[in-house]
Amino acid sequence: MNARALLFFLVMLAVPVAIAADAPLARTEAGTVRGLSADGVDRFLGIPFAAPPVGDRRWRPPLPAPAWVGQRPADTYGADCAQKPFIGDDAPLATVPAEDCLYLNVWRPAGATGQSLPVMVWIHGGGFVNGGTSPAIYDGSRMARDGVVLVSANHRLGRFGFFAHPALTAEAGDAPTANYGFMDQIAALRWVAANIAAFGGDPSNVTLFGESAGGLSINILLTAPPARGLFHKAILMSGGGRSTLLPSPTLAAGERAGLRFAAGQGITDSGPAALAALRALPADPLVGSLNLATLSGTTDYSGPVMDGTLMQGTPLDLFRAGRAARIPVMVGATSADGWYSGGTKETILAAFGPLAAEATRLYDPTGTDSAERVGHRVNGDALFIEPARATARALAAQGQPVYLYRFSYVAEKMRDRWKGTEHAKDLPFIFDNVLPRYGSLTSPADQAMAARLRRYWTGFAKTGVPVAAGAPAAPPLRAADDRLIDFTNDGPTITSDPVQARLDLTERLLDRR
């Protein structure tokens, strides 16, 4: 080997040593993790927070992650949970999904070891059948630069995360069953309580935030006794709260769905032998064709069920009964939340029964709107927008700080296509990741709104009030108040609810059911 080749060889040997020496380290209960540092942010990706839920651990509560020796690399995302991705997802995965998926990620300001920063824990959406922590729009770097430690955690999905069967109920005894995805979320929060100080986070100042199914999860965790004390503020984004979004079958109904699935796999016994056979199934038939595009009408999958422990009732009913954690809460939805579920204008409006004439006046005032637009408005109000207001009012009535918001900003280059802010279109703005979402279509106004919205969310984590420098603070909601902070194309403004009359009508309809 000549001198130049020898020098090149020695330099190449030195490079990984230099990177490893500069890499940020954190000591967890299971062992030391080695992350990445760039642009003022330390990233720790793919940290196991629980043992792999595979083999005999399928459909069991999560156990702590096995310990390791030495420095575990934490520089790539762990697999997102087993699922069938669908075309058009607003948050496409960057991993190949797998059953071994109980991993989380941590972003912090570079060198934050020894500090005690506010912590934000993210729960992704996806209807409990899709989603994960790897999508580019969930990168926590920009939030971390605001002086928080951000954590995102996976949880089991579909039939891995929400599955009931008589044999599982018998095996669990008095312990929780069926809602394994919620158990995973609680396990992640327990990991945060035990380990986040090693990353510079304050375990006594944890804000839980999530969107769609993630927001709905927080509705449930607010009233779940095992989650009490594990988080201290909450942000519910398009998370419903009424049974219109989550019908919540009984455990018995969930068991019947589980028996139907088992029978479809040729497993007809309902005892321990059936459970052994179900746990021996490969992952593929459990995933099947289940995803957000096929979920409607599925009869052999129950989703979350009323297990009596983690899920003891419809969130709104429990909130009205004073059974939620007494912590600051921020709750809201997007201005054109929801979607069109089919049907003619006549059938959509006829669902209001004796209120149909009033519904026609409010939802189709000119008589010229399409069935799609009318159905979208009705659906969004019933699933997300009115339930957000109902949730805020119910919690405010208990005397806790509550802030109601609406996200009405539409990405500048999309304003000729979208008549409002559709479901999940707020996510790139909250994480301030509009460039990965819109690319060359991103405008300076979009970037300015994203920076401002991000600061409102991190401001809430720091102070318990949605506030950002140079912008109005959201007002606390009173029980019958309709004031909210609306993030509009012209900036944030404090206003009376612009669709109050529609929501009043929807409330009358839903409270009668």
Mean pLDDT of the chain: 94
* pLDDT at site 435: 92
Structure tokens at 211: 């969107």
| Average pLDDT score over residue span 319-334 | 98
* pLDDT at site 10: 36
Q: For 92-168, where are the E strands, in sequence order?
A: 103-109, 117-123, 149-153
* pLDDT at site 379: 97
The architecture in CATH of the region 28-512 reads 3-Layer(aba) Sandwich (3.40)
Among 194, 470, 181, 438, CA closest to 303: 181
**116/479: higher pLDDT:** 116
pLDDT over threshold 60, residue 2:
no
For residues 466 and 473, give the distance between their C-alpha atoms in angstroms, rounded to a whole number.
6
Distances in Å between the Cα of 491 and the Cα atoms of 123, 452, 458 are 27, 9, 18
Helix, strand, or coil (residue 326) = coil
pLDDT over threshold 60, residue 152:
yes
Domain parsing of the chain, residue ranges: 28-512
* pLDDT at site 309: 92
For residues 379 and 241, give the distance between their C-alpha atoms in angstroms, rounded to a whole number.
14
* pLDDT at site 70: 98
* pLDDT at site 243: 86
Q: Which residue has the tokens 């669990």?
A: 172
pLDDT over threshold 70, residue 323:
yes
Q: Is residue 110 exposed (0-12), middle (13-18) or buried (19+ Cβ within 10 Å)?
A: middle
pLDDT over threshold 90, residue 49:
yes
For residues 94 and 107, give the distance between their C-alpha atoms in angstroms, rounded to a whole number.
18
pLDDT class for 4, splitting at 50, 70, 90? very low
| Average pLDDT score over residue span 502-508 | 97
**391/243: higher pLDDT:** 391
pLDDT over threshold 80, residue 15:
no
Distance of CA 233 to the CA centre of its chain: 15
pLDDT class for 440, splitting at 50, 70, 90? very high
Alpha-helical (H) ranges within 270-382 are: 272-280, 283-287, 315-320, 345-350, 356-363, 371-380
pLDDT class for 9, splitting at 50, 70, 90? very low
pLDDT over threshold 80, residue 479:
no
pLDDT over threshold 90, residue 65:
yes
pLDDT, tens only, 271-287: 999 999 999 999 999 99
Could you give the dihedral angle defined by the CA atoms of residues 129, 135, 141 and 146, in that order, rounded to the nearest 10 degrees?
-50
Whether the CB-CB separation of 35 and 43 falls below 8 Å is answered with yes
pLDDT, tens only, 396-415: 999 999 999 999 999 999 99
pLDDT over threshold 70, residue 498:
yes
pLDDT over threshold 70, residue 17:
no
What is the full DSSP assignment across 162-182?
Answer: B---HHHHHHHTTS--SBHHH
pLDDT class for 431, splitting at 50, 70, 90? very high
pLDDT, tens only, 217-250: 999 999 999 999 999 999 999 999 998 887 879 9
pLDDT over threshold 50, residue 62:
yes
User: Of 241-245, 322-326, 383-387, which range is least confident?
Assistant: 241-245
* pLDDT at site 316: 96
Structure tokens at 359: 């519904």
Structure tokens at 426: 């707020």
